[in-house]
Amino acid sequence: MKILFTGCTSKQTSDDAWKRARVKRIDDSSIICNSLRKQGYVVDRRTVSWGDDLSEYGLAIVGLGQFGSNNYSGEIFNALYAISQVKNVLVFHEDWKIDGTIKSFTTMLDDAVMEKSITKTWSDGRHFYGGVDNPNFDRQVAKQVIQNVVDGKYNALIPAFDWGDKEKVREIIKSENIYNVDLTPYVLDNWNIPTKVQVGEKKKKHMLASLVDHSPWVRRNKLKWDVDYYGAKSLKAPQLASETDVFEKCGEYWSILCPEYPHAGSGWFRIRWIYAAIQQSILLSSPKDLEALGLEVTNIEMMNEDQLKEYATKQSEKVLSYMWSKDDFDKKIKEIVDSNGNNLTIGEPQETKAPIKIASLF
């Protein structure tokens, strides 16, 4: 039987979505699908519609996101149909905003909210949520799947490092079985980023590369060193053309800032941890992350050069000790689908294609 890979976004439902994206980079879904295909699994990465016959699939990996968001509205109800039809399901929480996802699902259990949502339209008359105008759409089936997601009835797949307390994720999504995949080896490969570099001189400054304005978070942390921003147009920050440029820029700073996530300490995948570790710079995020890594929480702005080097080395060695290789990734994703799927077909390895390397992640 085949594997169905679907979800709520074009990147989850199309092999060619990266060609239309503003940020053209290899994405989580492509990494997973490529690994499975090169191991011989037959993976259909596609959208589904209410009424489709999905009996040929022994496993469905289904990406979910927040109700109410334009990013997910086109396919989220169709994704619920896939979950209802395939016996073996892995819910893929690609977006780190899992608290928002679950809160939105909980809200949709209210009949009045559901009614308002499925009747909501754009100015041109099209339904805001795709699939609800399908004659085969079943509101009660959709509501039951939503309830099951809220109750954590489905096994879950998340992008995360091996370090960290996954109970912090379980407290939010409730799934008993949570499987993590470390995307590092394929992200580095896509950008030709080395795992060892010649460490040069560093500035006693912070670097924060993001398309989002995180200056409020910076102010709350009352940092003393200057902060150099990259990427955020609202701050008129300099742009970095590619992930390679981001990686190389990280080597110029002692501190790489990584704004805190609500589930800090869980080890959720963030490539900045790896960039900082390879460059032997120090990543600053949440004390909960440092505690999860078994590292001392300290004020690096009070350190001299020797102390900075020592602390950076400790953090680097700890982070890189958990990093997966391509073989690790392939083996782990195989174990995950084999343990969750039913009678999955394995044939000849399939050729995969990676996106053009022209834009940065953040």
The pLDDT, as a whole number, for residue 128 is 97
Extract long-range pairs of 334-339: CB within 8 Å, 24+ residues apart.
334/36, 334/39, 336/90, 336/157, 336/179, 336/181, 337/3, 337/36, 337/41, 337/59, 337/61, 337/90
Contacts of 307 (CB under 8 A, 6+ apart): none
The pLDDT, as a whole number, for residue 99 is 97
Q: How far apart are CA 246 and CA 69, in angstroms?
A: 29
351 vs 126: which has the higher pLDDT: 126
Q: How far apart are CA 345 and CA 134, in angstroms?
A: 31
Place of tokens 């053009």: 356
The pLDDT, as a whole number, for residue 358 is 45
The pLDDT, as a whole number, for residue 241 is 86
The proportion of the chain whose per-residue pLDDT surpasses 70, expressed as a percent, equals 95
pTM for the full model? 0.93
Token pair listed for 81: 């149909």
The band of 355, judged by pLDDT with boundaries at 50, 70 and 90, is low
Extract long-range pairs of 135-139: CB within 8 Å, 24+ residues apart.
135/51, 136/49, 136/50, 136/51, 137/50, 137/77, 138/50, 139/114
**Residue 265 pLDDT exceeds 60:** yes
The pLDDT, as a whole number, for residue 348 is 81
The band of 156, judged by pLDDT with boundaries at 50, 70 and 90, is very high
